[in-house]
Amino acid sequence: MNFPKQKIYTALKILGVLIILLFIGLYYFRDSLLKQAIAKVTHKMAVQYNSNFSVKEASFDGLSTIKLTNIVLAPINADTLCKIKSVETSVSLSSLLIGDVQVGTLKIDNGYIQLVKKGKKRNFDAFLKRDKNETDSNEKRKYASFAYNIISKLLNLVPTDMDLKNFQFKIDDNGKHTSIAVNKLVLNNKQLETNLHVQAKDFDQRWNIKGFADPRNKKADIRFFNLDTGAIRVPYLDERYNLKASFDSIRLNVQNIDKSGSELHIDGYTSIANLTINHPKIASKDVVIKNARFDYRFLLGDNFISIDSSSTMQLNKIKVRPYVSYDTEKDTVYTLKVDIPKMKAQDFIVSLPDGLFTHFQGMQATGNFDYKLDFKFNKNKPNTLVFDSKLNKEDLRITKYGEADLNKLNGEFVYRAIIQNVLQRPVLVGNANPNYTPLDQISPYLRKCVLTTEDPSFFSHRGFINEAFKQSILKNIRTKKFSRGASTISMQLIKNVFLTREKTLSRKLEEILLVYILENNRIVSKERMLEVYFNIIEWGPNVYGIGEASHFYFQKSPSALNVDECLYLATIIPKPRKFMYQFNDEGNLKDYALKNQTFLKNLMFRRGLLIPEDTIGQLPVYISGNARSFIKIKVPDSTAIKLDSLNTTDEFDL
């Protein structure tokens, strides 16, 4: 269908006139519209967030510049959340007409935002409540679309030109104070520069943030520096979580945020120099990471969020390719894959963070290795858990040990346990110690009992049991805490001889690496490892080694222990200092302790480790050694005994 050109021109003229009239209307009624918008916000703050919102003066300067003074947002019966003396901003009217708010310029002078917590009450709690208008929680959220909409809206609110002066961000967490004062923040021609004054309980620093920021094209390259001497310290975490953290500089780069079809891609990298962390759960000293970099590619789809396998993590000379995924398409599935490409063993050792692997300092190695980890957990099918860890060696050999010299286990040495950071008495592991007991002089029943309770596959595994790790992970996931470990005798030996009993990430990581080296380089035979284990573990209060234990409990040598005595000793290994609570006030084992031993005995029968003839003629366990003095045995009333004897005599005489 063809329209005459004259009619087209006429239609365009009418449209042009309407647009002009619209802009004229906006110009003349802009102040009225602004007041209506502020009134709407004020009403929403009062009704939905139980807060008072007020603006003393609001007016337009020109067609798109808005000036506001004395802006206050204060939750009712709580501390003021935000207060700003003056704001000047411009909004793109063309974008506003299509429902898209884009902030052009922003000037803020003199103001603050403060987060206050008093007891359990916080002045921002009302703003954390879920909006009633949100979609039903049972409806699946399309992650890519949701994330892209949020990112776009937030970046549109970031002005292309910005000038902040004398603005503060403050935290008061039940008396724990932190403040970040923005003395100057300028974003001009996509270049960002700011000076910050950071104050906390025990430090006062000036930071500088500068770089490139282009919110409309979703790109940025920003760096953090310290204007003063020394590293940048992270505020608040120390007082709140007992976590001390500092760094020399951080770089954050966002190269691309793009939605293609149903997938959202976020690409870029972040790097940090001389990151120092100190927390009691991590290590007993500062952990220092000299150089770290993460080249990331986040992928989001309708049903998944992931870190793509093209991402790389660099830790000094160690390069890791991670893949992390959260998928809800059919079931809720968590996936983790870690790939360390072939690298030199020595490069790996020297790249370990200082303070996290103290026992490896000074260690030297030759050869190469590569490593792969495959983990998958289905929330709805937990028993299908996948845990596969593989390390491939290529002429790998330890040429020099660090602080933990594993060859020490082959000879005579002095062992000293550490309990609650207190060094215990020295125990000589060698024939010069009269209580030292070679493996062939320990009752075979005890060897079988202890291996059954502590590590049934000790002689066949290489330090770790994958199935035990799986069960440990499953229980920890169910309980949402580290409630179960997967410790083998090899791991217990390393922990006792070379490490401490502190429950830190550092200790656990060192334990895993040392066990792998011990078991996979055939440094010590399995028989020698088991012999040392029997002669150093704690069997009771200040009782170390089976030689001391067999006399402490039964006044006999380890070779003379019977089946029931061995069953008893095997069951107290987890809590040897509390052995006395297994006995009643008559000096006999309580029912639960007897049930534990019966369970262990029946298990050994089923596995063919015991036969019925082994238990013929066995008497109940009787503690005859010094251990008996630890058991609270009720002494009969001597007066009652005497009266009973008198009554018996009288009856006899009659």
Nearest to 369 by CA among 334, 398, 335, 326: 398
Residue pLDDT, tens place only, 172-187: 999 889 999 998 899 9
Q: Report the chain's mean pLDDT, rounded to a whole number.
A: 85
200's tokens: 């906390």
**Rounded to an integer, what distance in angstroms lies between the CA atom of residue 153 and that of residue 147?**
10
Query: Which of 257-266, 299-308, 450-459, 478-487 has the lowest average pLDDT?
Result: 478-487
Partners of 250 in the β-ladder? 224, 272
Given a cut of 80, is residue 31 above it in pLDDT?
no
Relative to beta strand 121-122, strand 103-118 is antiparallel
For 277-287, what is each residue's pLDDT tens digit? Answer: 999 999 988 99
Average pLDDT for residues 602-624, to the nearest whole number? 87
Across 53-58, average pLDDT:
89
State the pLDDT at residue 361.
86
Percent of the chain with pLDDT over 90: 52
Query: Which pLDDT score, from 0 to 100, does residue 533 have?
Result: 96
| 89, 69 Cβ separation under 8 angstroms | no
Which helix (H) or strand (E) segment holds residue 566: the answer is helix 563-571
Cα gap 185→22, rounded to integer Å: 36
What's the pLDDT score for residue 433?
Answer: 96
What's the pLDDT band for 618 if we cut at 50, 70, 90? confident
Tell me the β-bridge partners of 287. Answer: 277
Whether the predicted pLDDT of 212 surpasses 60: yes
pLDDT of res. 468: 66
Between CA 645 and CA 652, with CA 650 as vertex, the angle to 5 degrees is 95
Please give the structure tokens belonging to residue 18. 């309407």
Amino acid in position 609:
L
State percent of the chain over pLDDT 70. 85
* pLDDT tens column, 307-328: 999 999 999 999 999 999 999 9
What is the structure's pLDDT at 339?
A: 96
Q: What are the structural domains of the chain? A: 1-131 (no CATH), 431-578+598-616 (1.10.3810.10)
Residue 138 in this model has a pLDDT that exceeds 90: no
31, 189, 480, 483, 495 from 511: Cα distances, Å: 70, 53, 23, 18, 6
Count of residues making up the chain: 654
